[in-house]
Amino acid sequence: MRQLLSICRHEISLMRSHAIPVALYYLIPLAILAFVEGGFSVYLQLEDPSAGFSGADLAAPGQATMFGFMSLATVGFFFLGDHAWGTWNRVRALGVRPRRIMTGKLGVAYLNQLMIFVVVMGAATLLFGLTVRGSTVALIAVELVMALVIVGYGLIACSLARNQAEFNAFSYLGALVLAGLGGALTPFETLPQWAQTIAPLTPTYWSVRAFSIVILDGGGLADVSEELLVLALFAAVFFLVVSRLFDASKRRTTWA
């Protein structure tokens, strides 16, 4: 436990030393939300004019999810930096197992995912009139599981990427593709038919669907049980893939 806490403190200190790029993943989704909220509002009014939905009701959780994936770029920078700076080998030489190192790193990343969601949803409530009509417990449960999915995806990127360029491809391109297919960038019903067909193969589809049930339809924990189960399966598959792919001795660096 002492080793794990030391790794977590090291990761937090790295985030503090790069506070500006870390903070951008909290601020940019709010800036984008200011532009896309109107489009989502028009769509929701056309769907149900009497419901009084705000565009942020649908757009805010999508933006929080998308930038959760994008924020993995900082995880990759710190992870690859440890290899470039020799920190990874020095820590292992002290007898710390790679699994414990990654647990500490991704534990901090997991908390960062939750904080991004809290900040985006809180700001959307204050600035854009977001209203959660369903169970707060269900909303939290969806985010807890979705954050685990994002961290699992990040760990796959850590396993495959050899440099920062490759890791950024996983975090940014992956975020945009998954967000687009899942309905985080635009309402799902407005996507082309081919995208709607393959969307259920992405975790973002199930998270956006769960958030919609809770925020728009007033659903509770039982109403999103199917979505939570599917998201948990995505997380389990991601971590199973990592158990096969991750090589602690693989040569990595921050540059190409």
For residue 176, pLDDT over 90 is answered with no
Q: What is the mean pLDDT of residues 126-153?
A: 94
For residue 255, pLDDT over 80 is answered with no
* Position 230 confidence tier, pLDDT thresholds 50, 70, 90: very high
Residue 216 tokens, joined: 């728009």
What mean pLDDT value characterizes the chain? 89
Tens-place pLDDT, residues 85-129: 888 888 888 888 888 888 888 899 999 999 999 999 999 999 999
pTM of this prediction?
A: 0.90
* Position 256 confidence tier, pLDDT thresholds 50, 70, 90: low
Let me know if 223 is exposed, middle or buried by CB neighbors in 10 A (0-12, 13-18, 19+): middle
Task: State residue 47's pLDDT score.
Answer: 80
Compute φ and ψ for 35, nearest 5 degrees. -90, -40
Q: What is the mean pLDDT of residues 18-41?
A: 90
Residue type, 106: L
Tens-place pLDDT, residues 52-89: 888 999 899 999 999 999 898 888 888 888 888 888 88
**What does the alpha-carbon distance between residue 53 and residue 32 come to, in Å, rounded to a whole number?**
19
What is residue 28's three-state secondary structure?
helix
DSSP the chain: -HHHHHHHHHHHHHHHHTHHHHHHHHHHHHHHHHHHHHHHHHHHHHH-TTS---THHHHHHHHHHHHHHHTHHHHHHHHHHHHHTTHHHHHHHTT--HHHHHHHHHHHHHHHHHHHHHHHHHHHHHHH-----S-HHHHHHHHHHHHHHHHHHHHHHHHH-SSHHHHHIIIIIHHHHHHHHHTSSS-GGGS-HHHHHHGGGSHHHHHHHHHHHHHTT---TGGGHHHHHHHHHHHHHHHHHHHHH--TT----S--
Least confidently predicted of 64-78, 140-154, 210-224, 230-244:
64-78
Interacting residues of 105 by C-beta distance below 8 A, sequence separation 6+: 7, 11, 75, 78, 79
**What does the alpha-carbon distance between residue 62 and residue 69 come to, in Å, rounded to a whole number?**
11
Q: How long is the chain?
A: 256
